[in-house]
C-alpha cells in the first residue's frame, strides 16, 4: 500500500517562489519515488504516519529508497538545523537504538516515521541583517552568522509564509534587526508557533490551515521604550495583512517580548499581548491544551499526539498517576481524560506553566472525576515524596535525562518501602511540614478535587513510563534502573520527532521487579542442549 502526501512548498501570498508543488509517493516497504512537478492544487489533508517494526538494525544504503525520502532543501549545506538529507524516515541512530533494546530483550521495538516535511509547528529564529535586507533563520554551525531559511522544508508552510510577511513589514517600516556586536537594533528574535486547533474546519483541513502566533523579541527593557511605536506599527502591519480581515488569514496573534541581555538567551521575563487572540490552543492526546508563548511546547505536534496515544495503552483505567517534569501538564491531563485516572499529580519546576495548566483544566470534560493537581517543585529534592501514592510514574525529562536523586529513589524503592507510611498524605495533610521546597510546592499548587471521595494510599509505583528526547542520557538512566533489579524493561517505541536530524523520541515502559537478563537467557539455552 502506498502513502501519498504533499511537500511543504505550498504556495502562499508571501512566498516569492512560483506556485509549484512536489508530490511524493512512498511505499511502506521501499519508499519508491514517483515524483512529478504540477501546478499547486488546493491544500490536501496530511497523510497518516507509518509505523515500522524494526526487525534488523541494518539500514539501507543511499539508493532509490533513501533518495525518495531525501530532504531536498536548498538550505541544507549552510543551515545547522538538519544534519542529514537522506533516509529521513530512518535516521542512522536507529542502528544503535535497535541494538540496545535487542540486547535488553525487547525484540518488538517499533519506530513511527511520522510526517517527514512541514512537521515543525514551533520555531525560534534569530533576526539579523539590515532593514533593507533582513535575515531570519538559524546560526551557521559553530558561528553566530545567520543563515536565512525562507524555504525551510521542516517548517509548517505557514511559518515560512509568516516569515515572508514579517520581512515585508521590516523593510516597509524600516525596522532595524539586532546587531550583536554593537548591541543595537530593535528586533532580536521571533518565535513562530502554529495552532491547528480550528473546530470550524473539517479535521482533515486543519493542519495546512493552521494559524501562526508571532512573538517579537524587542531590544528594549519594556513596552515604553523610544522604539515602541515601531513595535506597534510592525504588529499592526502583520495583523492588517495576515489577520482575519486580510485576503489570506495567516496570523493568530502577535505578542511582544522585551529583553536587552547580552547573554545568549532568547526571551526576557516581560511579555505583552499586542493583537489577536490571547489564548493559544492545540488539541493533542484527546484534550485541548492551552500554551502561553513563554511555555514549552512540542515542535512536532502530530508526532507528539501519536506518542501520547501509544502511552495511553500502557496506563490502567482508574490508576493514580504522577507526571514528573510535567510542563503545563499535557501528559497527565490527557491520561486523566483517556484513562479516567483516580488521581493525577503534575510536578514542574517552571512557574510559567501554571497558567497554561489552569486554562487547560477549564476545558476538561465535566464528566472527569479525578483528583488533579499541579505543583511547582524541583523533583531533585526528596523525589520519593512524589513517588509514594502513585501506581504509575511518567517522566519526560530534558535532554540531560533524570536528576541523579530521582534515579537513586527509583533504584531503591525496596528500601524506601519502609518509609512509605511516614510519607503517607504528607503533602496534603501534614500541618507541621517544615521542608521549604514542600511548602513552596504547596503555595504554588493548583488543586482540583474529585467529586468522589478518594482513598489516600501509600502505594509505590509498579509502572514507570520514560519519555526521552536525549538518547545517550536515556541509555545511561536505563542501565542504572535495570542494574538495581528493581525494574525490568518491557516495551519500547521510537518516534521520528525531528526528521533530518540524529534525534528521536523514545517511549519506554518499565515494570517493577527484576527482569530476565541476557546471561539468564543464555544459561537456559545451554541447559536445553545438555538435555
Mean pLDDT along residues 43-51: 45
List the grid coordinates of 505. Answer: 523520541
Residue 422 has pLDDT above 70, yes or no: no
Cα angle, residue 157 at apex, residues 209 and 24 outer, rounded to 5°: 100
Q: Which residues does the annotation place in the binding site?
A: 298, 325, 348, 396
Q: What is the predicted pLDDT for the residue at 480?
A: 96
Q: Which of the pair, 29 or 237, is modelled with greater confidence?
A: 237
Looking at residue 155, what DSSP letter applies? B
For the chain, the maximum distance between any two Cα atoms, rounded to a whole number of angstroms, is 88
Cα distance between residue 343 and residue 335, in whole Å? 10
Q: Mind listing the pLDDT tens digit for each residue in 172-210? A: 999 999 999 999 999 999 999 999 988 778 878 889 899
Q: b/e string for 220-257 if b means 16 or more Cβ within 10 A?
A: beeeebeebebbeebbbbbbebbbeeeeeebbbbbbbb
CATH class, range 122-282: mainly beta
Element (H, E) at 435: none
As a whole-number percent, the residues of the chain with pLDDT over 70 amount to 77
Given 114, 152, 469, 478, the catalytic residue:
469
Strands (E), 132-250: 134-139, 146-148, 187-195, 211-218
How far is the first Cα of the chain from the last one, in angstroms, to the nearest whole number?
47
Cα distance between residue 333 and residue 323, in whole Å? 9
Mean pLDDT along residues 413-437: 56
Q: What is the predicted pLDDT for the residue at 279?
A: 94
- Spell out the residues 6+ positions from residue 95 whose beta carbon is closer than 8 angstroms to its own: 57, 58, 59
Across 78-92, 310-324, 393-407, least confident range? 78-92
Going by C-alpha positions, the residue among 151, 55, 143, 66 that lies closest to residue 107 is 55
Residue 269 has pLDDT above 50, yes or no: yes
Looking at residue 179, what DSSP letter applies? B
CB 178 within 8 A of CB 186: yes
- CA 95 from centroid of its chain's CA atoms: 23
Residue 378 has pLDDT above 80, yes or no: yes
Q: What is the predicted pLDDT for the residue at 454?
A: 57
List the grid coordinates of 299. Answer: 515542535
Mean pLDDT along residues 302-321: 96
As a whole-number percent, the residues of the chain with pLDDT over 90 amount to 62
Q: Which residues does the annotation place in the binding site for S-adenosyl-L-methionine?
A: 298, 325, 348, 396
* 11 confidence band (pLDDT: 50, 70, 90): low
Q: What is the predicted pLDDT for the residue at 439?
A: 52
Domain range list for the chain: 122-282, 298-512
Q: How many CB atoms lie within 10 A of CB 140?
A: 13
Helices (H) and strands (E) in the chain, counts: 15, 22
Q: Which residue has the cell 535488553?
A: 104
Phi and psi, residue 68, nearest 5°: -70, -25
pTM score, two decimals? 0.81
Q: Three-class SS of residue 30?
A: coil
Q: Which of the pair, 249 or 454, is modelled with greater confidence?
A: 249
* 264 confidence band (pLDDT: 50, 70, 90): confident
List the grid coordinates of 148. Answer: 536565512
User: Is 31 an active-site residue?
Assistant: no
CB neighbour class for 284 (10 Å; exposed up to 12, middle 13-18, buried from 19): buried
Does the domain spanning 298-512 belong to CATH 3.30.450.40?
no
122-282 matches 298-512 in fold? no
Q: Please list the residues that pair with 138 across neighbouring strands.
A: 147
Cα distance between residue 454 and residue 445, in whole Å? 19
Amino acid at each position: 500500500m502506498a502513502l501519498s502526501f504533499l511537500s511543504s512548498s505550498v504556495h502562499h501570498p508571501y512566498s516569492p517562489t512560483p506556485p509549484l508543488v512536489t508530490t511524493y509517493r512512498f511505499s511502506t516497504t521501499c519508499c519508491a519515488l514517483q515524483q512529478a512537478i504540477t501546478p499547486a492544487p488546493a491544500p490536501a489533508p496530511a497523510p497518516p504516519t507509518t509505523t515500522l517494526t524494526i526487525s534488523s538494525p541494518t539500514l539501507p544504503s543511499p539508493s532509490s529508497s533513501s533518495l525518495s525520502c531525501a530532504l531536498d532543501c536548498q538550505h541544507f549545506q549552510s543551515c545547522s538545523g538538519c544534519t542529514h538529507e537522506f533516509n529521513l524516515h530512518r535516521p542512522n541512530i536507529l542502528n544503535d537504538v535497535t541494538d540496545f533494546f535487542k540486547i535488553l530483550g525487547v525484540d518488538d521495538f517499533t519506530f513511527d516515521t511520522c510526517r517527514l516535511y512541514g512537521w515543525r509547528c514551533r520555531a525560534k529564529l534569530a533576526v539579523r541583517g539590515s532593514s533593507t535586507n533582513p535575515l531570519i533563520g538559524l546560526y551557521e554551525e559553530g558561528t553566530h552568522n545567520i543563515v536565512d531559511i525562507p524555504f525551510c522544508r521542516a517548517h509548517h508552510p505557514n511559518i515560512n509564509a509568516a516569515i515572508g510577511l514579517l520581512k515585508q513589514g521590516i523593510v516597509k517600516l524600516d525596522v532595524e534587526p539586532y546587531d550583536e556586536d554593537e548591541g543595537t537594533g530593535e528586533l532580536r528574535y521571533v518565535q513562530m508557533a502554529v495552532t491547528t486547533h480550528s473546530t470550524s474546519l473539517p479535521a482533515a483541513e486543519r493542519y495546512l490551515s493552521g494559524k501562526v502566533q508571532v512573538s517579537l523579541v524587542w531590544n528594549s527593557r519594556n513596552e515604553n521604550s523610544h522604539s515602541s511605536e515601531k513595535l506597534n506599527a510592525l504588529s499592526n502591519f502583520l495583523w492588517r495583512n495576515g489577520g482575519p480581515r486580510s485576503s489570506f488569514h495567516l496570523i493568530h496573534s502577535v505578542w511582544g517580548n522585551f529583553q536587552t541581555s547580552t547573554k545568549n538567551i532568547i526571551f526576557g521575563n516581560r511579555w505583552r499581548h499586542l493583537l489577536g487572540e490571547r489564548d493559544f490552543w492545540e488539541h493533542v492526546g484527546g484534550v485541548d491544551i492551552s500554551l502561553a508563548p513563554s511555555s514549552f511546547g512540542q515542535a512536532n505536534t502530530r508526532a507528539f499526539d501519536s506518542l501520547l496515544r501509544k502511552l495511553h495503552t500502557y496506563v490502567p483505567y482508574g490508576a493514580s498517576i504522577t507526571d514528573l517534569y510535567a510542563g503545563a501538564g499535557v501528559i497527565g491531563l490527557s491520561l486523566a481524560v483517556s484513562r479516567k485516572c483516580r488521581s493525577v499529580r503534575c510536578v514542574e519546576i517552571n512557574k510559567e506553566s501554571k497558567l497554561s495548566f489552569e486554562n487547560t483544566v477549564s476545558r476538561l470534560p465535566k464528566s472527569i472525576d479525578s483528583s488533579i493537581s499541579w505543583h511547582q517543585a524541583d523533583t531533585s529534592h526528596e523525589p520519593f515524596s512524589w513517588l509514594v501514592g502513585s501506581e504509575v510514574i511518567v517522566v519526560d525529562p530534558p535532554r540531560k535525562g533524570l536528576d541523579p536523586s530521582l534515579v537513586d529513589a527509583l533504584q531503591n524503592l525496596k528500601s524506601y518501602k519502609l518509609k512509605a507510611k511516614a510519607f503517607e498524605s504528607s503533602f496534603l495533610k501534614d500541618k507541621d511540614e517544615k521542608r521549604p521546597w514542600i511548602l513552596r510546592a504547596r503555595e504554588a499548587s493548583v488543586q482540583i478535587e474529585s467529586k468522589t471521595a478518594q482513598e489516600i494510599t501509600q502505594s509505590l509505583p509498579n509502572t514507570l513510563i520514560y519519555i526521552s528526547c536525549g538518547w545517550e542520557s536515556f541509555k545511561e538512566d536505563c542501565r542504572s534502573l535495570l542494574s538495581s533489579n528493581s525494574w525490568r524493561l518491557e516495551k519500547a517505541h521510537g518516534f521520528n520527532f525531528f526528521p533530518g536530524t540524529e534525534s528521536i523520541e523514545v517511549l519506554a515502559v518499565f515494570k517493577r521487579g527484576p527482569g530476565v537478563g541476557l546471561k539468564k537467557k543464555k544459561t537456559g539455552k545451554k541447559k536445553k542442549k545438555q538435555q
